[in-house]
Structure 1
């Protein structure tokens, strides 16, 4: 049986709520016991209403935020508490595109440049090879 590339088990994130004098601490639940997996060849799209926790879930999966509860696995390895060099390596292998296109896409770049940039950064491809690969990716 094929192993998921990325998996979350009962992932939750609580943020401290507003503090009031003489009242117990309150928390706001941003992500509540999410379990999901991404198999080889799949792409995950997280959609929902504004404020539903989409960006928070993405940040939890990439370990940009620490989870309040639950576990995250990448290629079978638990990465919930990964740090340092291992965490940097994971962030080169995983990608999130946030819902705000102005925050995630540079309007001065062409689609070819945006798609080709990771190939140049992480695989150091020659320009002609990169252009060919980008055109392949955009055709699929």
Structure 2
């Protein structure tokens, strides 16, 4: 189990593997980000992307799927998140790419008002199969503390 006390500042981890499927790219875009370069090969060919690319918001969702799987695997005692900072999409994500995540813990703070929890900030980076960073952001997480005794 991973509690607040188990999180170490400076710790790095690498996890996840997510293969980006063309049908999923189009389906997500049709519902949430219906811009032509996310929906049509022909339209995308006329843009700086050069071909169909995933929505940045879809990249966030794929990352979240990998992170949730990792938290479940480690029995992480997460309590949600109040948000993220510094979200950047660095490179387009294309169908056929395989994504993975890296996390580095930047800081952690016990809650002053809620002794049963603490928070931590981590830099999350998503890479493609060429080890090129495609997205980065600062994650703020809330996590349960061990109860005394």
Q: TM-score, normalised by structure 2?
A: 0.23
More helix by share: 1
More strand by share: 2
Higher relative contact order (CA 8 A, sep 6+): 2
